[in-house]
């Protein structure tokens, strides 16, 4: 005989208890299948945050916003200081620091030819007044090839002009030869972005020790700096030990880039390794 379940046989109190039990089972199931995984993930995330906080504290990197702002301002101040120092370096050792507009300007071949003629005429006249013999063409000719860059030729001319002017001012005995050499470009970064051009000039002249001393001083004046790449000195004659033959290569420096535009990748420093055997 099959017994049939009827609510009439269950008291009202038993029905309430059954409903409470069923609701409790549903809540427990909901918590276990939905809320418990989220709670577990939250606890794992809290543990990761605590570990990271501990690591930052050990490395003294866990600071507040005010401290971060202070450090940022220090970096900005240091950047501005380095930029000013770079500008002072350019001003002190740049050969054309007072002629930046001319360096940046576009130069045509006709401009170079006219400038070469003016420089040759002026320096030959200056040498004649000083009674110093110099090469009339100063190692440069007005013939410009199709592949020649007019700006490069102009910068070579200006470099040569500065050097010859300095030699005439110190009253050397004789300028035997002067010739601009191929420019040297200095770059930075992986692509070799140019930031500095060097225009070397080879020169040979006769003079005494005082001329050589005066030349060094003359080439250290701001705006007139020429770096000494190579020099060879020997007696010009066995009968005259005071007269020297000087062969030298001097370079004019032309800075091209604003320091704020130069971005260098900072390489990680190598780990220190203590020397073995000590």
SS3 per residue for the chain: CCCCCCHHHCCHHHHHHHHHHHHHHHHHHHHHHHHHHHHHHHHHHHHHHHHHHHHHHHCCCCCCHHHHHHHHHHHHHHHHHHHHHHHHHHHHHCCCCCCHHHHHCCCCHHHHHHHHHHHHHHHHHHHHHHCCECCCCCCCCCCCCCCCCHHHHHHHHHHHHHHHHHHHHCCCCEEEEEEECCCEEEEECCCCEEEEEEEEEEEEEEECHHHHHHHHHHCCCCCCCCEEEEEEEEEEECCEEEEEEEEEEEEEEEECCCHHHCCCCCCCCCCCCCCCCC
pLDDT band at residue 278 using 50, 70 and 90 as cut-offs: very low
Of 20 and 131, the one with more pLDDT: 131
Of 94 and 182, the one with more pLDDT: 182
Q: How far apart are CA 244 and CA 239, in angstroms?
A: 11
Look at residue 2 in the predicted model and tell me its pLDDT: 46
- Examine residue 143 and state whether it is found in any structural domain, yes or no: yes
- Examine residue 116 and state whether it is found in any structural domain, yes or no: yes
Average pLDDT over the chain reads: 79
pLDDT band at residue 36 using 50, 70 and 90 as cut-offs: low
Report the pLDDT averaged over residues 11-27. Answer: 71
Cβ neighbours around 28 below 10 Å, total: 10
pLDDT band at residue 1 using 50, 70 and 90 as cut-offs: very low
Look at residue 61 in the predicted model and tell me its pLDDT: 63
- Examine residue 167 and state whether it is found in any structural domain, yes or no: yes
Look at residue 238 in the predicted model and tell me its pLDDT: 82
Supply the pTM of this predicted model.
0.65
Question: pLDDT tens digit string along 169-183?
Answer: 999 999 999 999 999
Percent of the chain with pLDDT over 90: 25
Residue entry with tokens 């320096």: 123
CATH number at residue 230: 3.30.70.60
- Examine residue 80 and state whether it is found in any structural domain, yes or no: no
- Examine residue 174 and state whether it is found in any structural domain, yes or no: yes
- Examine residue 273 and state whether it is found in any structural domain, yes or no: no
Look at residue 201 in the predicted model and tell me its pLDDT: 94
pLDDT at 63 over 80: no
What contacts 264, CB < 8 A, 6 or more positions away? 188, 189
Q: Which residues pair with 228 in a beta bridge?
A: 250
Of 188 and 172, the one with more pLDDT: 172
Look at residue 90 in the predicted model and tell me its pLDDT: 77
What contacts 53, CB < 8 A, 6 or more positions away? 62
Q: How far apart are CA 36 and CA 49, in angstroms?
A: 20
Report the pLDDT averaged over residues 91-116. Answer: 73
Least confident residue range of 38-47, 75-84, 133-142, 210-219: 38-47
- Residue 27: phi and psi, rounded to 5, are -65, -45
pLDDT at 202 over 80: yes
- Examine residue 182 and state whether it is found in any structural domain, yes or no: yes
- Examine residue 203 and state whether it is found in any structural domain, yes or no: yes
Report the pLDDT averaged over residues 224-239. Answer: 86
Of 98 and 250, the one with more pLDDT: 250
Residue 180 near residue 201, CB atoms below 8 Å:
yes
The number of distinct structural domains making up the chain is 1
What contacts 138, CB < 8 A, 6 or more positions away? 119, 120, 123, 160, 164, 178
Report the pLDDT averaged over residues 88-110. Answer: 70
pLDDT at 162 over 80: yes
pLDDT at 122 over 70: yes
**Range of the structural domain that residue 222 is part of:** 89-259
């Amino acid at each position: 005989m099959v017994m049939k379940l009827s609510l009439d046989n269950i008291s009202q109190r038993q029905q309430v208890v059954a409903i409470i039990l069923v609701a409790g089972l549903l809540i427990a199931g909901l918590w276990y299948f939905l809320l418990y995984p989220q709670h577990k993930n939250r606890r794992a995330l809290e543990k990761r945050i605590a570990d990271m906080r501990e690591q930052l504290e050990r490395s003294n990197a866990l600071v507040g916003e005010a401290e971060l702002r202070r450090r940022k301002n220090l970096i900005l101040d240091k950047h501005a200081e380095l930029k000013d120092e770079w500008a002072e370096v350019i001003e002190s050792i740049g050969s054309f620091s007072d002629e930046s507009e001319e360096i940046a300007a576009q130069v045509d071949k006709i401009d170079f030819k006219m400038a070469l003629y003016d420089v040759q005429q002026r320096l030959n006249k200056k040498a004649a007044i000083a009674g110093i013999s110099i090469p009339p063409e100063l190692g440069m000719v007005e013939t410009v090839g199709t592949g020649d860059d007019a700006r490069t030729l102009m910068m070579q001319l200006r470099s040569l002009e500065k050097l010859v002017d300095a030699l005439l001012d110190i009253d050397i005995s004789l300028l035997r030869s002067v010739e601009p050499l191929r420019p040297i470009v200095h770059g930075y970064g992986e692509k070799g972005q140019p930031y500095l051009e060097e225009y070397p000039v080879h020169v040979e002249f006769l003079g005494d020790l005082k001329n050589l001393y005066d030349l060094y001083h003359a080439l250290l004046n701001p705006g007139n700096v020429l770096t000494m790449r190579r020099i060879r000195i020997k007696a010009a004659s066995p009968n005259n030990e005071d007269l020297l033959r000087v062969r030298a290569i001097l370079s004019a420096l032309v800075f091209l880039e604003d320091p704020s535009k130069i971005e260098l990748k900072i390489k990680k420093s190598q780990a220190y390794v203590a020397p073995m055997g000590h």
